[in-house]
Chain A
Amino acid sequence: MTNFPILSLITFLPILGMIVVLLIPKKQELAIKGLTIIITAIQVVLAVVLLLNYNYSLGGINDIKSFQFIEKFRWIEITGFSWIGKIKIDYFLGVDGLSMPMVLLTAIVTFIASISSWTIDKSVKGYFAMFLLLDTGMMGVFVALDFFLFYVFWELMLLPMYFLIGIWGGPRREYAAIKFFLYTLLGSVLILLVMIGLYFSSMETLADGTRVFTFNMLEMMNPANYTAGGILSPLNPNNLRFIAYIGLFIGFAIKIPMFPFHTWLPDAHVEAPTAISVILAGVLLKMGTYGILRVSYPIFPEITKDLTWYIALFGMINIIYGAFCAMAQKDFKKLIAYSSVSHMGYVLLGMAALNTMGISGAILQMFNHGTITAMLFLIVGVIYDRAHIRDLDSFGGLGRQMPVYTGFVTVAFFAAIGLPGLSGFISEALVFLGSFGNDITRVLAVVSTLGILLGAGYMLWTLQRVFLGPLNEKWASLKDMDFREFAMLVPLSAIVIFLGVYPGPMLKLMNSSVNTMVEFIEKAQSFYQSLGSL
């Protein structure tokens, strides 16, 4: 099993699928749709195979030996530059406890989204080609361990996403698509700049003993690899690490999206077709927080430690501000979009705690938010497909009209609120336990609990307005869910309930990596501090 390039397969399978889709004649819409579903289903199978072969005891994070399913070979090699020596870039994939839950999440959410895309009837070929390209980009981000490769995958998602929102979206789709594109590109160029800066600051020792500049993220995490002259080197007296950290953080924060960079999200969500909203909320938002955990935290541990209060502060603002905004919405989809802003705040809060509980909670919250919000957007899609409006006030009493649907809605809403027994509770509880356990973030954690209250407020109020009370006669002809919708919501509900009752497997999956990370940041920070005192 070790030599089989399973990560490459899971990443590039969609691209192969895209090529096949492009070769299928335009009229064969069923074949195109079917193929996409099969490909995403194979991805789920591959993700499960990864999970079954996963070694839970290995930590990953900064040590290549404890990464799993590694694929590493030379991609670009240019020798003999007189001024910077050799240029080399590796094709370097691998997973650890941080990326494994994300790979699982991506596979599941993409599979569900491909089923949800079944109703697309405009330029089907183009849609599914873009969808599959997007899939490769997402999967690639979570498995890449070379910064250059990471960045290529990161950018690869932008264009398909632009077209998916812009062509298949709602009435204001052009505005939403370009806003999404400009915001994320602004973030990406900041990441690019820091990437180049890091490249010139860290050197890797090759097998033959020569030292070359490196894009390898694991090598960048090792303080010993920094050269004295590098701009982002802690040894450099006027080093710019703090500024670089802020730049990198903003780059990732736009994707989360963190207040005040969140304004693209409601627009993009409202205009995007259901399946794309599902992907956007389910996977894309996680890339921001994943990027911070994968790149910012271990490469800049000393600054991370200094800034935890601010990260938690922004987490708190996200939680409360997002909740208040959600409460004010009349549009069902916009409400869910703002609830995403609020829920991603918990991830930031948990990350800032910098202890095992907090970070585990953050990663678990990323996974849970992915599944719960996917459900919520599917739920909005179900009602929108039937009624063609999303105005919360115009519904009422749907509970009697669509009982099965209402059942799923209740599960998803209660999971989003954080009701014990459903997955959202576990991750939020861990986040609060973690951030309460850290002296720096304690006060912010206490204030953030207000978010739970507000969350319950807007969710229950929505439930009341749409599903309870007397039935609005206008909607007396609405049918309950069909099999396709059922097939999408059942697996997600199963995951939500399973992880709510028994979160053990997921926590075990990430446990050793989280411990490694916490320990690594602790150690590295004292090391960097000792450099600073010289």
Chain B
Amino acid sequence: MNFTSDLFLIYPEIVLTTALIVVVLFDLIFKKSQSWLPVLSLAGILIAFIFVVLQFGTNLPAFEYSTKNNLLSIDNLSTYFKGIILITSFFVVLFSIFSSEVKSCRDRHGEYYSLLLGMMIGMFFLVSSNDLILIYLSMELLSLSSYVLAGFVKNSIRNSEASLKYVIYGSVSSGIMLFGISLLYGLTGTTNLNEINTILRGATTIDITFILSVFMILAGFGFKISVVPFHFWTPDVYEGAPITITAYLSVASKAAGFAVLIRFIKAVFFSGISQGGYWNLFSYFDWQAVLVLISIVTMTLGNFSALWQDNLKRMLAYSSIAHAGYILLGVSVLSDQGITAVLIYFAIYMFMNLGAFLIVMLLANKIGSENIDDYKGLGYSIPFLGTALAIFLVSLIGLPPTAGFIAKLYLFIALVDAKMIVVAIIALLNTVVSLYYYIRVLKNMYLVEDQTKSIHIELKPLSFITILLLVIPVLLFGIYFTPIVDFAKLSIQILGL
């Protein structure tokens, strides 16, 4: 094992760690100038982003202790997800500048930004780790930082409630996962994904405990991506947490969860590639059926529960559960094409979901509520914000000519090509259901007349630019999506396979 020679592969992580230290120290020394903290965080994110961009195309194992026995895999898949995580972080830090919830905690901004950076580091290691121990550690780093952030506004009861619920559900699932890892270690004698794969190749019989242990590990991932039956925390935490953190959890933390899920499935079970690009898995168990079942139940439950929500944040929480279902469907195709669809979906989901949360936050700053009924008649007094929200919601439904349509299109292309027609039909019918609750927001904003409510929101140039930065990709990728597909296509490469 050559530690120092592989250091260059984790430059982005080093940059983020440095940024974390700088933020903590700056907060200690210059207690008065807290407004510089987001700037420092943004600088760290941008520098890390440059390194990530430079890293794209690198496919190297890092920290090998024997051949094919590496702790980290720096490959295109992980680099792509790192890019997603950094862009999301960039926007979330910008959101935090406008957020009145974050502002209300005057002297704890240092804590906030350093914890955000802590989450980032956790996610960075999570997306590239190739070893169960490292997966567990980075997942805990991510989770612990996010538990605190979910309850960041201490004097808000629902913040604290969210945090506590998150801790309880999180520790249970990570306990289950750890137990699964220990079982797997007991069976195979290794924690390295590639080595487990090698052992599976040689195995003649398979123990039921193996399947059990895999299920337990999947429970940990399922918690992060909030799929049924590990979704119970999601609505409460999303509703209770500060909206910036909700946005962050719904995009970045989910991206990290999906990245590790994809890597785990492919690295452990992959046995070869069939004609047409489908993966052959060691099929002691029908993993595909499990994934399809979970994703269908997840999207159906998410969509139907969202129908009854009055709180917009809670509704977006259920909608994000539904979207996790769609994305998992892409994984369940178990082909390079399915993964491409997942990557495309994530890039687009990032823009539209962040955008929706941003507008909700800006409105909540002003009217002090996230209740859909309080939106009645608002559309007329805030034409720009209203139009932007309409675009994001239409994109979340998946109607052309917005990018959300392209995301869904590629997902369905993958499904139809894999001859999973019935599944595709169920997913499409789900889209129709989702129309109802997304459009309900627009209905309240535009169709219901309420002359008494006229608000005026002074948009600062920075928030205006942030909205544009999110709206433009949603519209542009809806009409011209070559770049995003091209990029996703290059990013499916997983090291060692």
Q: Is the CB of A87 within 8 A of B485?
A: yes
Contact partners of B486 in chain A: CB under 8 A: 78
For A77, A84, A163, A192, which residue has the most chain B Cβ atoms within 10 angstroms?
A192
Q: Pick the residue among B412, B443, B481 that contacts A196 (CB under 8 A).
A: B412
- Whether B482 and A151, one on each chain, are in contact in the complex, defined by CB atoms closer than 8 angstroms, is no
Which of B24-32, B109-117, B223-231, B397-405 lies at the interface with chain A? Answer: B397-405
Given the known A-B contacts A152-B401, A162-B439, are A196 and B413 also in contact in the complex, defined by CB atoms under 8 Å? Answer: yes
CA distance A81 to B492 in the complex (A): 11
Q: Tell which of A176-184, A309-317, A515-523 binds the partner.
A: A176-184
Map CB proximity to A onto B452-483 as digits: 1 under 8 Å, 0 otherwise: 00000000000000000000000000001110
Which residues 68-101 of A sit at the B interface, judged by CB distance below 8 A? Answer: 75-78, 80-84, 87
CA distance A156 to B478 in the complex (A): 12
CB neighbours of A186 from chain B (8 A):
429, 432
Residues of B within 8 A of A173 (CB): 447
Closest to A87 in B: B485
A119 within 8 A of B: no
A82-B336, A197-B416 known; A189 vs B432 contact (CB < 8 Å)? yes
Report the separation of the CA atoms of residues A152 and B428 in the bound assembly, to the nearest whole angstrom: 16
Chain A's interface size range is: 35 or more
Identify the closest chain B residue to A165 (Cβ): B447
Which of B416, B435, B489 interacts with A182 by CB under 8 Å? Answer: B435
B residues in contact with A76, CB < 8 Å: 480-482
The answer to whether A174 touches B435 (Cβ under 8 A) is: no
Chain B residues near A500 (CB-CB < 8 A)? none
In the complex the two chains form, is B337's CB within 8 Å of A193's CB? Answer: no
B276 within 8 A of A: yes
Chain A residues numbered 132-149 whose CB sits less than 8 Å from any CB in chain B: none
B213 at the interface (CB under 8 A from A): no
B367-389 near A? 1/0 per residue, CB < 8 Å: 00000000000001000000000
- Kindly name the residue among B380, B399, B419 whose own CB sees the greatest number of chain A CB atoms within 10 A: B399
Any B CB within 8 A of the CB of A361: no
Q: Which of B277, B412, B417, B446 contacts A192 (CB 8 A)?
A: B412
Which of chain A's residues has its CB closest to B430's CB? A189
Which chain B residues lie closer than 8 Å to A231 at the CB level? Answer: 416, 419, 421
Please give me the residue from chain A that is nearest to B276 by CB atom.
A83
A524 → B minimal CB distance (Å): 24
Q: Give Cα distance in the complex from A517 to B327, angstroms.
A: 42
Q: Given A78-B485, A174-B447, do A193 and B480 touch, yes or no (CB 8 Å)? A: no
B401 contacts across to A, CB distance below 8 A: 152, 155-156
A487 within 8 A of B: no
Contact between B429 and A189, CB atoms less than 8 A apart: yes
Contact, CB under 8 Å: A177 / B436: no
Chain B residue contacts of A472, Cβ below 8 A: none
Q: In the complex, which residues of chain A have a beta carbon less than 8 angstroms from the beta carbon of B446? A: 163, 166-167
A158 adjacent to chain B (CB < 8 Å): yes
Q: Nearest B residue to A129 by beta-carbon distance? A: B387
Q: B417's contact among A78, A152, A181, A200, by CB below 8 Å, is which?
A: A200
B417 A155 Cβ-Cβ under 8 A: no
- With A76-B480, A200-B416: A240-B439 Cβ-Cβ less than 8 Å: no
Q: Does B96 contact A (CB under 8 A)?
A: no
A84-B337, A193-B424 known; A155+B400 contact, CB < 8 A? yes
B394 at the interface (CB under 8 A from A): yes
For A57, the chain B residues whose CB sits under 8 A away are: none
Residue A123 lies at the interface, judged by CB distance under 8 Å to chain B: yes
Show 26 residue pairs from A and B whose CB-CB distance is below 8 angstroms, ordered by the A residue: A75-B480, A77-B482, A78-B485, A81-B337, A82-B336, A83-B337, A123-B380, A152-B400, A152-B405, A159-B394, A162-B439, A163-B447, A166-B443, A166-B446, A167-B446, A178-B439, A185-B431, A185-B432, A186-B429, A186-B432, A189-B431, A190-B428, A192-B412, A196-B424, A200-B413, A240-B421
Residues of B within 8 A of A (CB): 276-277, 335-337, 380, 394, 399-401, 405, 409, 412-413, 416-417, 419, 421, 424-425, 428-429, 431-432, 435-436, 439, 443, 446-448, 480-482, 485-486, 489
